[in-house]
Every structure is written in structure tokens, then in C-alpha cells.
Amino acid sequence: MILTNEVNLQEIQYETLVVGLSTHLEQVEGWDAFTATFGPQITELIRSKDLSTNEKEITTFHVTTDSSVKRILFAGIGNRKKLTEDTLRQLFGRVGKTLQKKGYSDVSVLLPSFVNEEISEQDVAFLAGEGLGMGTYQILDYKTTAHDTDYDLAAVELLSQADEQEIVSYFEVGLIYSEAVNEARTLVNMPGNILTATELGEYARELGEEFGFETHILGKEEIEELGMGALLAVNQGSTEEPRLIVLKHQVTDKWEDPIALVGKGITFDTGGYSLKPKDGIVGMKGDMGGAAAVLGAMRIIGETKPNKNVIAVIASTDNMVSGNAFKPDDVITSMSGKTIEILNTDAEGRLVLADAVTYAKQQGATAIVDVATLTGGVIVALGMDKTGALTNDEALFEEFMEASMETGEFVWRLPLTESDKKRIRKSDVADLNNSPGRDGHMIFGGGFVGEFAENTPWIHLDIAGTSGTPSEHDLGPKGGTGVMVRTLASFVERLAEQE
């Protein structure tokens, strides 16, 4: 960490100080002033490796000199020339976890005046907000036994030689991003009997009221009037009504050229009559991860107000088994008028997305990004840590990939060929079939949605692997990850900059 004499080390506000520690202390400006304040033994402890400079390692030093600071958390950044934004974000996440574990709610953070040519001090402030906010997220649970979920990073003092207002602004935006991710995580983690389509609609309504979005939460009768036969087919086995959730962020006098963010909102997925096995059905409360990502992105958009019209469309229901449920061999009619032969009732996400994409087009969307926990096939193809993508527009996808690289959310594009499209369109009784087979499953699932996007520039994101994690990590606990919240918001911001 590069220090400067302009930071008054004698007037640090809080007892806990976070300092990044790089290798090659002789290159660190202001190190003599730092050791003069907190004790020259720090240098010897580093050289003896009692205080680690290793990447993402955190060690605590208890201050014995006369100072308001009682402890320093040294966060190892290794060789600063090799440091990446993603590593720095994860490091701050790990710092947040350490603060949470020890119960330190007020903290001073000494920011560097320079990390390397790729990362500015403003970037560091933003990453600090993201990492600290995401790292301290706690899962909402329903236990009756006493447990501590009240930790809050109450106050953060940023120490920097840069413009204070600018640094604070970047940090606050980072916090906004982290809070939106955490909201999405909470939605994904909520049980299906608590987060129904109705409740998801109420959450969206409150979000719309908070940020002044034009908001429409359409119930079953309105969905029927629109002719959304695909969404209604998935819902017909349920005692819970469906919802079509619509939020509009409008920045121009005339509603024109909006980007549509379309989310799959299946609040619980049994698979219907194509019933999931007992192991595969557990965790299906998270099948609305796409909806959560869209709502999280809209929270960021509401806070940062990018100069771009945005419409969010979420089709929400559960997929249940009953005497009324839709069946394999059924033929249904989507909102677009296209008929669909049902070969697999567990391929329901693409059905609700079909009607949502059609609705978005009718609302004037000139580009569409749909996001969904769509297929197990994406996990087979790419594993649990990569989001799969399809597109029909190279330029749009290139811009999206720039956003994903900024946020560190890995996206990998798969091909969608004419041969794939022919298999989706192969049916003796309808225009399309909803499940051509297991081979290339992710491609067929997303490609089905593309049949409804048609010629509108479109990106499909399959987050079945990345929307949840089975274990704790630097940026959060196990469970919902809030994946794609930050990338969607960053993507919209990039489009806004081009307006």
C-alpha cells in the first residue's frame, strides 16, 4: 500500500485500521511516517513473515503506541504490479468477513494513492465498497434459537490523498452495487412457500415506488387478456397465481429505444409431470435467480440513474404437479401466436421467458437480455463458475462482455447454429417443441427463447450454475450469489454512455 504524508496518521478516527500490504517495502512512499506512528517493529515483523504480504492473507497487528488506532488489519496484496481488480475486490470481501467475525463495525481504510497502471485510487474505492458490502452479507434464516445476524458495517472512514468527495462517491457506488447483489441473494435464498409470485410482485412494487419507476404488476386475469398461453400453461397446476412484473426506467420525454432486461421468475420448480428426482428438486426455490438478477440490476439503475431507457420484465409462477397441471404432449399457444409442443414440463423456464420476451418487444424494446437458471446442461458444459451465453448480435454481445470483464463475472458464449434452430422447430403438431433432447441442452434451451426475440438484438444468459454456490467464498456465504446483478447494471451504464 502506498502511503502519503498528506494523510494525517495522528487523526485516524476509529480503533480498527485496514492497510494493504505489498511486497518491496523500500518502494512504499511514506512507510517511514507510518512506522513512526505505529512502531518500527512492523517492518521487522514483515521481514520475518509474521505479518504477511501474501495475496489475500490478513494478519492483525495490535498497536502499542499512543494512538487512537488499537489494531491494524494488514491485508496482503502481494506484488502490486500484478494485482487485478478482481483480486482486490475479493481481498476487500475477505477483509469484510474478518471485520464481521471479530465484530468490528467501525473501521478506517487507508487507500493507496497508486496501485498499478491498471487500477486507479478511484477504482480501489469502488472495489472497497463492493467487496466490503458483499463480504459481510449474512443469510436470512428462520431459526428460533438465538443467533447473531445483526452485524452491520456501521461506519467507514476513507483515508486518501485524492479528492475526498470523489473517493467517497466511488466508494458509495460500490456499496450500492453490493447492496443490490445482497438483495438478490436474499430473494434467491427465500423458501418457495414464502416468496411466491405474488410476494415477488410486491417486492418489485416497493422497488418501483422507492425509485419512481413506472410499475405494472399484472395478475392472472390481465395475463389471460394478453394471451400469455405459455406462462399460463406453466402456472395452471398451481394454487398460486402468476405475475407479470414490469418496471420502466424512463429518461427521455418519449419512450423510445429501451433495453429490456427479462428475468425467469419460477419461485419453485417441481418439474411438473416430468418430475425432478428427490435430490434434484432440493434447492429449486432458487429457480427465480434470473428475476432476482434483474431486480438487483434495477435497484442499481434506480440509484445511479443512467441515461438509458430500461424496461424490466419478469414472468413469475411456480411449476407444480396437480390434476390441472400441463402435460407432455400438450400443445399451447404463446403470446406471440406461435404454438409449442410440450415434450418436457421441466423445460418450463423457456416457456415463461417466451411470453416475457414477446411482451418486451411489444413495449418497444430494441435490445433484449434475458437471464435465467435455465438448464442443467450449462453446468455439464461449463461447470458451476461460468455463465453460459447465446446471442444473435455480435456488437451487442461485445459490449456486454466488456461489462462482464469489469465486474469479474465470467461469461462464455456457446454457438447457436441453423441446425440447432431446425431441431427447436421440429414438431409434427406445432411450430416449436420445447425440448429437442439432452445433447446441446443449454443451446436448445436458450435458442428456444431466441425464437421469440427473432430479429431483435438479443443476449441469453444461463446462470443455472452460477446463481448459487455450495460453499462460503471471499465475497459471501454459500447460497445465492446475486450473479449478473452487477454485470447487467454495468452493461446498461455502458450503453448510457453511448447515448
pLDDT by residue (tens digit) across 145-157? 866 566 788 899 9
Mean pLDDT on 479-485:
98
Alpha-helix runs per DSSP H in 227-365: 229-235, 278-281, 289-304, 349-362
Residue 259: per-residue pLDDT: 98
| Active-site annotation holder among 205, 276, 423, 494 | 276
Mean pLDDT on 85-95:
96
C-alpha cell at 464: 443455472
Mean pLDDT on 383-395:
98
pLDDT by residue (tens digit) across 336-367? 999 999 999 999 999 999 999 999 999 999 99
Residue 81: per-residue pLDDT: 83
- Which segments are annotated as binding site for Mn(2+)? 264, 269, 287, 346, 348
DSSP 331-361: EEE-TTS-EEE-S-TT--HHHHHHHHHHHHH
Residue 366: per-residue pLDDT: 98
Q: What are the two backbone dihedrals, phi and then psi, of residue 401, each rounded to the nearest 5 degrees? A: -65, -35
Strands 411-413 and 387-391: parallel
Is residue 278 part of the annotated active site? The answer reads no
Domain spanning 2-181: which CATH class is it, in words? Answer: alpha beta
Mean pLDDT on 385-404:
98
Mean pLDDT on 172-178:
98
Q: What is the CATH number of domain 195-498?
A: 3.40.630.10
C-alpha cell at 105: 463495525
pLDDT by residue (tens digit) across 4-58? 445 678 889 999 999 988 876 655 567 788 888 888 888 889 888 888 889 999 9
Mean pLDDT on 388-395:
98
| Coil vs helix vs strand at 233 | helix
pLDDT by residue (tens digit) across 422-481? 999 999 999 999 999 999 999 999 999 999 999 999 999 999 999 999 999 999 999 999
Domain ranges across the chain = 2-181, 195-498
Sole residue written with cell 420525454: 253
CA distances from 79 to 48, 83, 180, 306, 339 (A): 17, 7, 32, 36, 59
Residue 6: per-residue pLDDT: 55
Residue 27: per-residue pLDDT: 52
Average per-residue pLDDT in the chain? Answer: 94
**Most confidently predicted of 1-10, 77-86, 90-99:** 90-99
pLDDT by residue (tens digit) across 269-299? 999 999 999 999 999 999 999 999 999 999 9
Distance CA 348, CA 233 (A): 9
Residue 65: per-residue pLDDT: 86
Residues in the chain: 499
* Type of residue at 497: E
Contact yes or no for 361/458 (Cβ under 8 A): no
- Which segments are annotated as binding site? 264, 269, 287, 346, 348
**Exposed / middle / buried, residue 444 (Cβ in 10 Å: 0-12, 13-18, 19+):** buried
pLDDT-derived band at 1 (thresholds 50, 70, 90) equals very low
Three-state SS string across 168-231, please?
A: HHHHHHHHHHHHHHHHHHHHHHCCCCCCCHHHHHHHHHHHHHHHCCEEEEECHHHHHHHCCHHH
pLDDT at 316 over 70: yes
| CA 458-466-248 angle, 5° bins | 45
pLDDT at 67 over 90: no
Residue 3: per-residue pLDDT: 44
pLDDT at 92 over 80: yes
| Active-site annotation holder among 80, 285, 338, 350 | 350
Residue 221: per-residue pLDDT: 98
DSSP 384-399: SS-EEEEES-HHHHHH
Is residue 276 part of the annotated active site? The answer reads yes
Q: Which residues pair with 380 in a beta bridge?
A: none
Q: What are the two backbone dihedrals, phi and then psi, of residue 130, each rounded to the nearest 5 degrees? A: -60, -55
